[in-house]
Amino acid sequence: MTDDGTDPRFSALPARPGKVVAVHLSYASRADERSRRPAHPSYFLKPSSSVASSGGTVERPHGTELLAFEGEIALVIGTTARWVEPSRAWDHVAWVTAANDFGVYDLRASDKGSNLRSKGGDGFTPIGPGLLDARTVDPGALRLRTWVNGELRQEDTTAGLLFSLAQLVADLSQHLTLEPGDVILAGTPAGSSVVVPSDVVEVEVDEPGGSTSGRLVTTVTQGERRFDAALGSLPAVDDAQRADAWGSRAAAGLAPQGLSPELREQLLRAPVAALSAQLRKRGLDDVTIDGVRPMHPGTKLVGTARTLRLVPGREDLFARRGGGHNAQKQAFDTLEPGEVLVIEARGESAAATFGDVLALRAHARGAAGVITDGAVRDHAAVAAVGLAVYSAGAHPAVLGRRHVPWEVDVAVACGGTTVEPGDVVVGDDDGVVVVPSALVEEVVDAALAQEEEDGWVAEQVAAGHPVQGLFPMDARWRARYDAWRASR
């Protein structure tokens, strides 16, 4: 407390807020980073004890590594709002300022989305330093910027929001009473990442060329107190959390996910027919992507699946989801070396699912190939790229004629089978087979062993032996084969 009895944590606000409501995902740029676009806003609560003022510090808890910043626009409620219409919602906002929604990814797992421990710590919600009068600013033209150690890391405007600021106020007022002094954090754009002790994070909200909140400054420090395992869960982190916190596997310093060189070499030697037979022996018969043919006969395709789902064309949906860095462009732009993009097009080949520019992008990213049960545009140009492609044919029309790019990295239906991200896909002139990642080593070993056996049988048939008793082998031929193998 200061000498006059006020709490410096709330110096930028009219009073201590009764509640702080934060939006999970609200900017299109952030949604593209996360590979999902919500249809509606969703929220979580932060305790008012997490609020801090500009010039303060935020502590990275002992035993954690993934403290991430999220620059945000904060709305401060001026008058009580309950069941307000979107057209009147902004009237209930008194001020706008900058905020930083710090969070520790190491603490996310235990709270299952409530974010209490990961985002509720003391100092995790700095706000300020100056308040902009909501009556004098255009809520659709505010700019948000975040710097780390003087380097600009985030920049976006409220024009890039999936849900307007007024919509957030109106929607929340349907479910609870927004009271004077309450704070709404309006979400973060692309660019959030990890900070470490001694880093300085600054956030500013302004109208370009006009009024500004000033820079909200926070310095990261290292916590010394250890969490007590006897009281609750301890920090835990894995590579998936690291990739989320940093923004990508590459930014986190992680190697691309994929097959080992040894396993990839084995899969290159294993025919699709042999892999399919081994999967059938294990009860998996619906694992072929039917109706697709290779653009380059004689080439082998091996890789781990990334997925893109296209839904049936509808003009209003395409207007909303088809432009900008949509799911289709996002999928091609984020392919990693050795990955295969599998596109669900519902067998609809009366419009293309991609063309030469995106094929070039996939090739430049080191992707192993693309599989679509739809059509390919710029067929000759795509073929010239040299990327392994399996498709249902060619078509000159663009995506929007029949398809809306919808989402990436979800289970998709392609050519009559389900493909999950991380499945292993193998293609040759016989077609494409999908191998669950948990079975791939077992299946490829068995397929190669069967290929060796089938090769020996073929030699016997070529030498003039009848197939009766040889294919499949009876006990006499099996003994001869076993002896041959033992002599090698």
E strands in 226-297:
288-289, 293-294
pLDDT category of residue 447 using cuts at 50, 70 and 90: very high
pLDDT top residue among 283 and 239: 283
What confidence score (pLDDT) does residue 1 get? 57
Query: How large is the average pLDDT for residues 268-279?
Result: 94
Q: What is the value of pTM for the model shown?
A: 0.64
The annotation status of 377 as a binding-site residue, yes or no, is yes
* Equal CATH topology for 8-246 and 261-441: no
Amino acid at site 382: V
pLDDT of residue 221: 97
Is residue 119 helix, strand or coil? helix
Is 356 labelled as part of a ligand binding site? yes
Looking at residue 117, what is its pLDDT? Answer: 93
In CATH, which of 2.60.40.2130, 3.90.850.10, 3.40.50.720, 3.40.50.10380 is domain 8-246?
3.90.850.10
The reply, when asked if residue 378 is annotated as ligand binding, is yes
Q: What is the dihedral angle through the alpha carbons of 283, 413, 273, 486, rounded to the nearest 10 degrees?
A: -50
Per-residue confidence (pLDDT) for residue 255, from 0 to 100: 62
> Is the preceding omega at residue 126 within 30 degrees of 0, hence cis?
no
Packing angle of the helix pair 440-462, 261-269 (nearest 10 deg): 30
Residue 247 has a pLDDT of 86
**Using one digit for the tens of pLDDT, what is the confidence trace for 98-156?**
999 999 999 988 787 789 999 999 999 999 999 999 999 999 999 999 999 999 999 99
> Which of 184-188, 245-249, 317-321, 464-468 reaches the highest mean pLDDT?
184-188
pLDDT band at 260 (very low <50, low <70, confident <90, very high): confident
pLDDT in tens, 3-12: 565 799 999 9
Q: Architecture of 261-441 per CATH?
A: 3-Layer(bba) Sandwich (3.50)
Buried b (16+ CB within 10 A) or exposed e, 451-463: beeeebbeebeee
Report for 216-220, 248-252, 278-282: range of highest mean pLDDT: 216-220
With CA atoms as reference, report the closest residue to 107 among 277, 14, 227. Answer: 227
Q: State residue 441 phi and psi, 5-degree precision.
A: -65, -45
Cα-flanking dihedrals φ and ψ of residue 173, to 5°? -70, -15
Q: Is 365 annotated as a binding residue?
A: no
Q: Quote the CA–CA distance of 300 and 432 in Å, as a whole number.
A: 10
Average pLDDT over all residues of the chain: 93
Query: What letter represents residue 60's amino acid?
Result: R
Residue 390: pLDDT above 80? Answer: yes
Domain range summary for the chain, segments of one domain joined by + = 8-246, 261-441
